Amino acid sequence: VYFAETRDEKIKKIAEVGCSFFVDDLEEVLIHPEFPYGVERIHFTNSKKIVGVTGSHGKTSTSGMISYIFRNTNMSPTSFIGGIMSQINTNFEIGNSDYIVIEACEAYREFLHLTPDTSIITNISFEHLETYKDMDDIENTYLNYVNNTKKDGNIIINTDDVFMQNWVKKLNRKFYTYGIDKDNQNFAADNIELKDFYSKYDLYFNNKIRFHHVDIRSYTTFNDIDMVMDMISSMMGNYT
């Protein structure tokens, strides 16, 4: 991902890196007379419903599985993921719906350019010190990301660890929590069963069961948490 200050810089960078696709929210860039031939142009507008997934760990698998669920429930998302999605053998796809699933990278504060409809935070840890000066800087940047979420949007945060339980106290926006503690989180996996090549759980919302026996082809509890997030995202817009 690159960010350029001027229109001419953008056009030059597109040509330099040899893009197959280029995404921008300014139509005038896409119709520029010097726009490189053969590059597919994607107009990124506020009418799209953006699901932004960020966090120190788990954002690639979480955003990839959200894209998988949307794709297989006829929601046809456009997806920008930080890893290869095995079902389609690429990290990028163009869908036919208004849904966009983005792995929102925090490494160089790039995610602050987004205004998601749904913001998801898997966790926060002390990293990327080439960008951040200390833990306060990291925490405040994540707070800015959350505050960039559209006012009628959804903020969903994993609060399984003590750090995140304390961090959410700084939020001045409504948010939902998820994890494996159904007594203290809005969305939670419970009755988790670990099998040889898959795991199974029940999904609870506000301590009431929402889905029985959700199966995921993964053995670890960590990926069960990713899947809880994916199930939540598949129901987005219906939280009450």
Over the stretch 2-39, which tens digit does the pLDDT of each residue have? 667 788 888 888 888 887 878 777 788 888 889 988 88
Cβ atoms 218, 224 nearer than 8 A: yes
Q: 10 Å Cβ neighbour count for 95?
A: 16
The mean pLDDT value for 202-228 works out to 72
Cβ atoms 119, 54 nearer than 8 A: yes
Reply yes or no on whether the pLDDT at 236 is more than 70: no
Q: How far is Cα 197 from Cα 11, in angstroms, rounded to an integer?
A: 47
For position 106, what pLDDT does the model report? Answer: 93
Cβ-proximal residues to 193 (8 Å cutoff; 6+ apart), any chain: 199, 200, 201
Reply yes or no on whether the pLDDT at 100 is more than 70: yes
Please tell me the pTM assigned to this model: 0.81
- The encoded tokens of residue 168 equal 């959410």
Q: Minimum mean pLDDT among 21-25, 47-51, 135-139, 154-158: which range?
A: 21-25
